Structure 1
Amino acid sequence: MQLARTLIGMVHCLPLPGSPRWAGAMARVVDTALADAGALVAGGMDALLVENWGDAPFTPDRVDAPTVAGMTVVARELRRVYPTVPLGVNVLKNDARSALAVACAVGAGFIRVNVHAGAVLADQGIVHSDAYHTLRERRLLGADIAIFADVQGKHAVPLAPVELEQEARDLVHRGLADALVVTGRATGEPAPLGDVKRVRGAVAGVPLVVGSGADADSIAAILELADAVIVGTSLKRNGDVDQPVDEERVRRFVAAARRG
């Protein structure tokens, strides 16, 4: 997947089977995901990223089989309805191997990995990276699936101090990440442009993605520094992450990005 001012829209799944807020109707989960994806595609977004947003609280390591099954059902429907739209998969909090499995099964092009190097302290406790098994799993599957790795990602702090630039270099040169994602401290919070510049300087030539806080007012400045953006919250009704995607908000966002 080539990244060049690429706009990636979030598809936040409703709670999946086995999660605390699972409502017992997989058809509603699928229909809601398709409706959000439809608004994103109709509004002009370039790609989609689906994640198990509704499954909080998340496990710090491997998810259970019902989560993988549910994610696969949703992702397969997204691919069926929008076969030409690039699709990514993120299995929260940090199950890269399950994300790879889902992506491989449905023909998705990339996964997002929240902790691909080092270890962090998050609301799940200590979350460890597992690039060793992630890369070997990808090789075993024979899958051409890109890894988008967060650099000191949101809702977490490193267990030990580490410079942003050093983590970026480790992710690329030791973790073999295909693209890096820079975020704010939490969902919907802007990524500091200074951090984006620092990561760009540390690993010039590696695709760089801003992964939180983008909106119609900030997107032009973001795309002067980054190759792509992942956006969810600002495209939802009233800017509320738990509301449906608002197609008119998507259109305004895309128009602002294209003007830049």
Structure 2
Amino acid sequence: MTRAEFYQLFGGGRAVIGVVHLLPLPGSPRYTGEFSSIVDRALRDARAYVEAGFNGLIVENFGDAPFYPDQVGPETVAAMAVVTYAVRAAVEVPVGVNVLRNDARAALAVATAAGGRFIRVNVHTGAMLTDQGILQGKAAETLRLRKMLS
């Protein structure tokens, strides 16, 4: 998304985007087996952000720590798609996706399946030393997948 497209999506100027931190998802070490509670919490948080005047939301698998550095499993993609779809259907603001720690391909897949409007990639270009090791941006792959999915 270009800067101009971002401004257009949020009506120009600056946007305040709330992060819907998901509880641990299936496949995560701390998953409790109660998927409905994940959806319920996400919807509660999303509605609270919108009622507080936030311009958009981003759904993130924050409860899945410790994170895979580059690629999550298909169970995470599936769960995030279900929750993101529910959030998007419940609110009237743009909803995006971030798949931690740095899985842009999964974020694009979730956003495409759930009707998300944008993604966040922690390291899109270059490299960063993190608690998961060295993360390397994969802009070439991400942009090609985005083009293919559009």
TM-score above 0.5: yes
1:85 aligns to what SS in structure 2?
coil
User: Taking CA–CA contacts closer than 8 Å with sequence separation of 6 or more, which of the two structures ends up with the larger relative contact order?
Assistant: 2
Secondary structure at the residue paired with 1:6?
A: coil
Cross-structure match for 1:47: 56
Match of 2:119?
A: 111
What is the 5 A alignment of 1:63-74?
63-74=72-83
Whole-Å separation in 2 of the counterparts to 1:30 and 1:105: 16
Offset from partner CA, 1:90-120 (integer Å, 9 cap, x none): 0000000110011111111110000011112
Counterparts of 2:90 and 2:130 in 1: how far apart (Å)?
A: 35
Distance 2:144 2:70 in 1: 17
Question: 5 Å matches for 1:133-212?
Answer: 133-142=141-150
User: 1:132 maps to which residue?
Assistant: 140
**How far, CA to CA, are the matches of 1:89 and 1:4 in structure 2?**
21
Q: Mark the structure with the bigger radius of gyration.
A: 1
Rounded Cα–Cα distance in structure 2 between residues aligned with 1:67 and 1:130 = 20
What is the deviation of 1:11?
0.4
Number of residue pairs aligned between Structure 1 and Structure 2: 141
Q: CA RMSD in A?
A: 0.9
In 1: Cα distance, 2:70 partner to 2:14 partner: 32
- Runs of at least 4 residues of structure 1 off by over 3 A? none
Q: CA deviation at 1:5?
A: 2.3
Instruction: Write the distance in 2 (CA, Å) between the matches of 1:127 and 1:5.
Output: 28
Output the CA distance in 2 between the equivalents of 1:130 and 1:76. Answer: 26
Tell me if 1:25 matches 2:34.
Answer: yes
Q: List runs of 5+ in structure 2 lacking aligned partners.
A: 1-8
